[in-house]
Amino acid sequence: MDIRNIAIIAHVDHGKTTLVDQLLKQSGSFRDNQHVAERAMDSNDLERERGITILAKCTSVVWKDTRINIIDTPGHADFGGEVERILSMVDGAVVLVDSAEGALPQTKFVVGKALARGLKPIVVVNKIDRGDARPDEVHNEIFDLFAALGANDEQLDFPMLYASGRQGWADTEIDGPRKDLSPMFDLILRHVPPPQVNKDAPFAMVATILENDNFLGRVLTGRVEQGVAKMNMPVHVLRPDGSVVETGRLTKLLSFRGLDRVPVEEVEAGDIVAVAGLSEATIPETIAALEVKEPLPSTPVDPPTLSMT
């Protein structure tokens, strides 16, 4: 299946959760009971408050036979390079802005990092249904923000959508038909390049997010950079300096479906996946087939730096 990996960058309250819920619904990836149990991207508020590791949330929708993995990018603080690591898994970004509130000072840091990585964001001016929406001004503010953050000409020529996540539509024109979110899905498929990965090389991925799951133990999420991993495959874990951390087996492979992670038999290059079965591996180490002797490039885990902009 074709894949697109994108980050979603939004100021708190600009409507990310509502929009992602609608993307899930309209792509048929949504189950109503999930809505009650777990709103799309809200479950890490506690960790966020405490300022400990933020677990990025990944949501996955399928549109026209393409799986779109959408990663929620943590807001205004960079926890030890996490923003960079997350952005290293994606080939595109959606910058979501409230059409009345305007440009997004709290997410400047993340937008700056996305531009610095060469991503060409799609801008979504959201909540167009608001009586006090001022889409043209907001468009200009975003242009100025991108320019101030060092965007190149291509990045400044960003595609833009007007949207109401609440009403469930997006259009490239302000007076478009306001029917559904298909213009957003189509723009993502068209504008975001597929992951540039080598499916024929031996399996390797960089562990980008680490969490401890009550049932699975250590779970490591990352993008498969090359090859294919199969259940119970022997792997080793390489530190950035090339030394071996441990050798083990991948006892669980999980791929994202809607808001869930589901066990799969096999994962392949380009997809963002979670793996379990390793007891020592951490970020940003390389998990790879035994014949892979060199770690993949990764962003070091620095001590937390807070950027209060």
**Residue among 167 and 251 whose Cβ is closer to ligand GDP:** 167
Is residue 57 close enough to count as binding ligand GDP by CB under 6 A? no
x-marked contacts with ligand GDP along 77-116 as a string, rule CB under 6 A: ----------------------------------------
The least CB distance from residue 164 to ligand GDP, in Å, is: 4
Q: What residues contact residue 49 under an 8 Å CB cut-off, 6+ apart? A: none
Instruction: Give the interface size with ligand GDP as a residue count (CB under 6 A).
Output: 15
The least CB distance from residue 31 to ligand GDP, in Å, is: 19
One residue of 6, 10, 138, 283 binding ligand GDP per CB under 6 A: 10
One residue of 3, 9, 15, 60 binding ligand GDP per CB under 6 A: 15
x-marked contacts with ligand GDP along 118-157 as a string, rule CB under 6 A: --------xx-xx---------------------------
The conformation of residue 176, written as its DSSP 8-state character, comes to S
Q: Which two tokens stand for residue 158?
A: 């960003």
Query: Could you give the CA distance from residue 270 to residue 282 in angstroms, rounded to a whole number?
Result: 21
**Residue among 10 and 219 whose Cβ is closer to ligand GDP:** 10
x-marked contacts with ligand GDP along 16-35 as a string, rule CB under 6 A: xxx-----------------
One residue of 75, 102, 135, 165 binding ligand GDP per CB under 6 A: 165
Is residue 168 close enough to count as binding ligand GDP by CB under 6 A? no
* CA nearest neighbour of 29 among 185, 243, 245: 185
Can you state the percent helix, strand and coil of the chain, rounding each to 5? 20, 30, 45
**Residue among 163 and 288 whose Cβ is closer to ligand GDP:** 163
One residue of 27, 29, 107, 164 binding ligand GDP per CB under 6 A: 164
Query: Could you give the CA distance from residue 89 to residue 106 in angstroms, rounded to a whole number?
Result: 22
The conformation of residue 305, written as its DSSP 8-state character, comes to B
The least CB distance from residue 131 to ligand GDP, in Å, is: 9
Residue 25, SS3?
helix
17 is in an annotated binding site: yes
One residue of 5, 6, 14, 57 binding ligand GDP per CB under 6 A: 14
25 is in an annotated binding site: no
Q: Are 235 and 229 in contact (CB under 8 A)?
A: yes
* Cα end-to-end distance, the chain, whole Å: 40
Q: Provide the edge-to-edge strand list for the sheet that holds 2-10.
A: 58-63, 66-72, 2-10, 92-98, 122-126, 160-164, 169-171
Query: Could you give the CA distance from residue 222 to residue 76 in angstroms, rounded to a whole number?
Result: 22
108 is in an annotated binding site: no
* CA nearest neighbour of 142 among 131, 129, 118, 126: 126
Q: Which two tokens stand for residue 57?
A: 């949330």
309 is in an annotated binding site: no
* Cβ atoms within 10 Å of 242's Cβ, excluding its own: 10
165 is in an annotated binding site: no
Is residue 76 close enough to count as binding ligand GDP by CB under 6 A? no
The conformation of residue 284, written as its DSSP 8-state character, comes to T
126 is in an annotated binding site: yes
* Phi, psi at 262, each rounded to 5°: -115, 145
Q: List residues forming the annotated binding site for GTP.
A: 13-18, 126-129
Q: Which residues contribute to the annotated binding site?
A: 13-18, 126-129
Interaction site with ligand GDP (CB under 6 A): 10, 12-18, 126-127, 129-130, 164-166
